[in-house]
Amino acid sequence: MATIIVQWNNATLQAIRNTHLGPPMTARALAIVHTCIYDAWAAYTPGAIGTRLGGFLRRPIAEHTLDNKSEALSYAAHRALVDLYPSEAIHFGTLMTSLGYDPTDLSTDLRIPKGVGNRAAQAVLAFRHGDGSNQVGDLHPGAYSDYTEYSAISTKFWPSLSSISWQRLKLVGQSRASILFIAVQHIVAANLQCQAYRGNELIWHRFAVLPLHHPDFLANRCYTVPTYAGDGLSFSSK
């Protein structure tokens, strides 16, 4: 099973390379894909509790087989990735086919692994579509576009800039590697340019997250640290 999870992780990483989304969206996508995988896997693992549906997807112990786990988590990963990276759907479908699964099957019949996987992903995606990231463009036209209409209090260089206000970095020329930190060096250069918009930096403070100290995290015992053992993969609550 660990090998299949690695394959889905690699598919996610390749989609990230192909689409060039900014760091905030990339981190969010990785979290969503692996949360969907976990929730599908949890349905076939005693003691594991899904992040969105709790124990609702739990299957009888007799069904806790490696094949069922692999199928469920593959459908969950596929559904999540198609939602996050629709332009890469053909590549995800190819991986599904190579694993022996039908990428067009959207069954949510909980009596079968594919239904469990699809249902697990469906629940996670429904929640994440409303997490404030504006993935689906319902808050402002364009996926992940800024809907805050935020503008910096000051466009001047430090020290006139308010120390408690967010301000984009100033870049030297077009190079991302050459970042001049005005507030540290007290330098004003004629060729500085405002950092390009790479995603929803302006709205990420509104993004719904679950910190490790949150009561819901502790209550649900989200198994987030993977350790390889037994059937190939287990999750630790450390």
Residues 74 and 152 in one domain: no
**Cα gap 61→17, rounded to integer Å:** 39
Residues 225 and 153 in one domain: no
Residue 194 pairs in a beta bridge with: 170
* Cβ atoms 188, 207 nearer than 8 A: no
Residues 30 and 135 in one domain: yes
CATH number at residue 214: 1.20.144
Residues 22 and 97 in one domain: yes
* DSSP structural state of residue 224: -
Q: So what's the pLDDT on residue 228? A: 37
Cα torsion 43, 48, 51, 56: sign: positive
Task: Determine which helix (DSSP H) or strand (DSSP E) holds 7, and give its type and residue range.
Answer: helix 2-19
Q: How many CB atoms lie within 10 A of CB 218?
A: 11
Q: Which domain holds residue 185?
A: 148-196
Residues 212 and 228 in one domain: yes
Q: Which of 74-83, 182-191, 198-207, 219-228 has the highest mean pLDDT?
A: 74-83
Task: Give the SS3 label for residue 34.
Answer: helix
Residues 192 and 207 in one domain: no
Residues 104 and 168 in one domain: no
**Is the full-model pTM beyond 0.75?**
no
Instruction: Read off the pLDDT of each residue in 135-155 and give the average, rounded to a whole number.
Output: 80
Residues 136 and 94 in one domain: yes
Residue 184 has pLDDT above 50, yes or no: no
Q: So what's the pLDDT on residue 230? A: 43
**Cα gap 67→191, rounded to integer Å:** 59
Residues 105 and 163 in one domain: no
**Cα gap 71→43, rounded to integer Å:** 12
Residue 76 has pLDDT above 80, yes or no: yes
Residue for token digits 């999870």? Answer: 5
Instruction: Read off the pLDDT of each residue in 124-148 and give the average, rounded to a whole number.
Output: 91
The H helix count followed by the E strand count for the chain is 7, 5
**Cα gap 179→174, rounded to integer Å:** 10
Total domains in the fold of the chain: 2
